[in-house]
Structure 1
Amino acid sequence: MNKAPMIVVMGVCGCGKSEIGRRLAAALDTGFVEGDDFHPPHNVALMEAGTPLTDADRQLWLETLRDQLAAAAADGRGLVLSCSALKRRYRDLLREGAAATVFVHLHGSRALIEARMQARQGHFMPLGLIDSQFADLQPPAADERAIAGDITLPPDELVRHILQQLAALS
């Protein structure tokens, strides 16, 4: 991996994007951006009400995250960003900010993710939106720079796996 890695930790709600993203950024000694912090209030209100976001709802949010990646790349800084990035077109938009971005797709069973969401407190994403997340998910294709991360692994082991895979991409 180059000195300034650009990484998006992606996946459905409850898969551990924030936790793994923070741990990965620490291991790489680089910055971390929590994508959820950039949702406009309208999007948060929709999700809190159990209404899935549309592509139009996500557009400004994704553009803002793309700009975060672009700013880090322009400054020569690495960045780990947590973002669901469920659809190929969302990932394509994010890549506009930094073409060499690697996507780390955290994946697991619906049952495991549901259990995690039920245990989670203080997050705006309700359990009722899990089905819409899985319906929207388009796992990264073979032509995308992507790594798969199995969320059944303990977090430290998962981060080690991701770091090994990142090294192999160099």
Structure 2
Amino acid sequence: MSLNSSAFPPGHVLPAQPAAHGIGKRLVVVMGVCGSGKTTIAEGLHNELGWPWLDADTLHDADNIAKMRDGIPLTDTDRTAWLERCHAWLRSCAENRTGGILACSALKRAYRNKLCAQGLHVQFIYLHADENTLNARLNTRTGHFMPPSQLPNQLDTLEPPHPDEAAWSLQTLHQPAETIAQIMGLLKASKN
């Protein structure tokens, strides 16, 4: 089934754009635990490339958001429908040939496999930092439903990508612009 852009939050699925910076359109998932910089980096890549982007947190249902807000870790079952919605958005981008950038925790290999279901080719960008840096970011973040107390659970749940997964691992201790420039270089150097 083909999904159109009306199935997702407004402003996140755009008309097809010409290739930016000589980089062919593809599907990118910016992943990592809370505080790793996923949303900032995904939006920065969108600004550079013009591809649609989406913060996967906007696809959580009200029950999941309430649980996280209350400091209750999500289970695999809680995440199932959310991952299906994330996959549907990526599939829509692939079908519309727009490219797409998804900011999504994708903490477990099984979750990443669900995002790549039905033969989707996804480049994962795994952002990570030390726990002190992550805590400092979370304690100064405003307007997000995920409390900093959830970081230990996310770190316990995290399965960093294995060498056989299509993933680049980047430490995000620098300014976001530096991380975005590094990713742009990797995208240019990699096969389109």
TM range (shorter): over 0.9
Letter in 1 for 2:66: A
CA distance in 2, matches of 1:156, 1:81: 18
Q: Is the CA contact (8 Å cut-off) linking 2:59 and 2:82 kept in structure 1? A: yes
Q: Residue deviations 1:40-93, cap 9 Å, x none?
A: 000000001000000000000000000000011011111000000000000000
Contact 1:9-1:104 at 8 Å conserved across structures:
yes
How do 1:78-157 residues align onto structure 2 when only pairs under 5 Å count? 78-96=99-117, 99-157=120-178
Residues matched between the structures, number: 170
Gaps of 5+ in 2: 1-21
Deviations 1:113-159 (A, max 9, x none): 00000000111000111000000111111111111121102111100
Root mean square deviation of aligned Cα: 1.2
- Residue 15 (structure 1) aligned to one of 36, 46, 51: 36
User: How far does residue 3 in structure 1 lie from its aligned partner after superposition?
Assistant: 2.2
Q: Distance in 1 between matches of 2:122 and 2:162?
A: 14
1:167 CA drift (Å)? 2.3
TM-score w.r.t. the length of structure 2 is: 0.85
Distance 1:144 1:91 in 2: 9
Q: What does 1:28-47 correspond to in 2, within 5 Å?
A: 28-47=49-68
**% identity of equivalent residues:** 37
- Separation in 1 of the partners of 2:24 and 2:185? 15
Q: TM-score, normalised by structure 1?
A: 0.96
Moved more, 89-98 or 44-53: 89-98
Q: 5+ residue gaps in structure 1?
A: none
More deviation in 49-58 or 1-10?
A: 1-10
- 1:163 maps to 184
CA distance in 1, matches of 2:23, 2:39: 22
Q: Which amino acid aligns with 1:90?
A: Y
- Distance in 1 (CA, whole Å) between partners of 2:119 and 2:87 is 8
Q: Which has the larger radius of gyration?
A: 2
